[in-house]
Amino acid sequence: MRGPFRPRRAEDTKVYTGCMPHPDLEFPEAEGPVEAPALVDRLGRPLRDLRISVTDRCNFRCQYCMPKEVFGPNFAFLPRSEIMTFEEITRIARLFAERGVKKLRLTGGEPTLRAKIPTLVEMLREIPDVDIAMTTNGTMLKTLAEPLQRAGLDRVTVSLDSLDDAIFRSMNDMDFPVAMVLEGIDAAAAVGLPVKINAVVRRGVNDYTLLDLARHFRGTPHIVRFIEFMDVGSTNGWKMDEVLPAAELVKQIDAAFPLEPVDANYTGEVAQRYRYRDGQGEIGFITSVTQPFCGTCTRARLSAEGSVYTCLFASEAGADLRAAMRAGASDEDLGALIDATWHARADRYSELRSASTPGTRPHVEMSYIGG
Ligand code: SAM
Ligand code: SF4
Ligand code: SF4
């Protein structure tokens, strides 16, 4: 499942140390005091977000992510010794923040299954100037929302694919009821955490229940984002036929509740935003398949065992920061590894997808790399 293990060391990579621009890119001559140029990749994209997978385990078996047939009782999840400690995660996150990362997102697997997760949030909170978010299936939020908020979490995204209980139970494949996720969402809102809702859209599976989902959260501060079903990993049986283009869904929702587009909040925002014309809130569409946004992709991903990936669709392991740390690397060594990895980045899988046969190339599983 995982790509070949290919740790890079600073000494065997052509490293442009610090925050120097890649030589392929031209920067205009600055006048007056010169700020260090941002760390940019080969396509000129800065490093702004870090998604941190804190565990590869999950209490759901969503068929589009961790199908039971593959992630069954005998599946070998990472042993504890291979998972990064909180100290290791915090050290790496700080180095990323020093290189321009403004947003940290805890994910997985299911991040709330990691023991003492609020402690990690507390440790990350010490890093100046970063927004800390979490993506979760919401199952543990009833008890964890309050400690997470107290620890310094800024916001939460809860995945909820349908309000139809039977469909939701079948999509999570653990017979888990919708009502308990809704309770988790309420618990998060009650402690003041801004909440977004993510729904993966599969044609013929939950597409005809999505208007209800939109209706339910209309008039609340929670923004629903509909995500096109992606060919991540190699196990979810992805087929283009099951992708409902966001443009079709926009039309459906617009027919019931008229919409108007809203400008992106910032460069690199992945969702196309719309608001209800009657002022009842906002929804978003993540069009990774039909309208890719690689050109503004500023995300790096850290796997639960400490490898850096520069694309959700990576097919081989990136720099192994955990091995480097455990071998005694200094912050400078680790920083050079991060710099070299980002400088070498030319990923734009989704843009190239249409040019090849989608779903045929092996990718790292999303539960491992962090969605
Ligand atoms: N367990 C947490 C959760 O479900 O929110 C965090 C990890 S999950 C891998 C992160 C996000 O990826 C979720 O919103 C999930 O719905 C989305 N996801 C997983 N597999 C996907 C796929 N094949 N296509 C689109 N989104 C997917
Ligand atoms: Fe678990 Fe999230 Fe993947 Fe569903 S999408 S199986 S909840 S990691
Ligand atoms: Fe970013 Fe890779 Fe997705 Fe393109 S395919 S948007 S480069 S993660």
Residues 147-182 have pLDDT tens digits of: 999 999 999 999 999 999 999 999 999 999 999 999
- Cα(47)–Cα(79) distance, rounded to whole angstroms? 30
Alpha-carbon Rg for the chain in angstroms: 20
- Beta-ladder partners of 199: 226
Ligand 3 centroid, distance to 116 Cα (angstroms): 31
Mean pLDDT computed over every residue of the chain = 87
pLDDT at 14: 31
Closest CA to 111 of 92, 135, 131: 135
Ligand 1: which atom is nearest the Cα of residue 53? 7
Q: Mean pLDDT lowest for which of 97-101, 175-179, 342-346, 353-357?
A: 353-357
- Among 299, 316, 341, 363, say which to mutate for ligand 3: greatest number of ligand atoms within 8 Å of CB: 299
Classify residue 181 by burial, with Cβ atoms within 10 Å: 0-12, 13-18, 19+.
buried
Copy the structure tokens of residue 178.
Answer: 């919708």
Let me know how long the chain is: 371
Residue closest via CA to ligand 1's atom 22 equals 230
**Does 135 have pLDDT greater than 90?**
yes
**Does 15 have pLDDT greater than 60?**
no
Parallel, antiparallel, or unpaired: how do β-strands 155-159 and 195-201 relate? parallel
**Does 362 have pLDDT greater than 90?**
no
**Does 195 have pLDDT greater than 90?**
yes
Residue closest via CA to ligand 3's atom 2 equals 311
- Cα(242)–Cα(256) distance, rounded to whole angstroms? 23
**Does 361 have pLDDT greater than 70?**
no
Q: Decide whether any atom of ligand 2 lies within 6 Å of the 138 Cβ.
A: no
pLDDT at 370: 64
pLDDT at 239: 84
Q: Decide whether any atom of ligand 3 lies within 6 Å of the 348 Cβ.
A: yes
Q: Decide whether any atom of ligand 1 lies within 6 Å of the 136 Cβ.
A: yes
- Residue spans of the domains in the chain: they are 49-369
pLDDT band at 19 (very low <50, low <70, confident <90, very high): very low
pLDDT band at 356 (very low <50, low <70, confident <90, very high): low
pLDDT at 208: 94
Q: Which fold has domain 49-369?
A: TIM Barrel (3.20.20)
pTM of the model: 0.88
Q: Decide whether any atom of ligand 2 lies within 6 Å of the 66 Cβ.
A: yes
Residues 302-339 have pLDDT tens digits of: 999 999 999 998 877 789 999 999 999 999 999 999 99
**Does 31 have pLDDT greater than 80?**
no
- Among 159, 161, 174, say which to mutate for ligand 1: greatest number of ligand atoms within 8 Å of CB: 159
**Does 268 have pLDDT greater than 80?**
no
Q: Looking up tokens 């969605």, which residue turns up?
A: 371
Parallel, antiparallel, or unpaired: how do β-strands 282-286 and 272-276 relate? antiparallel
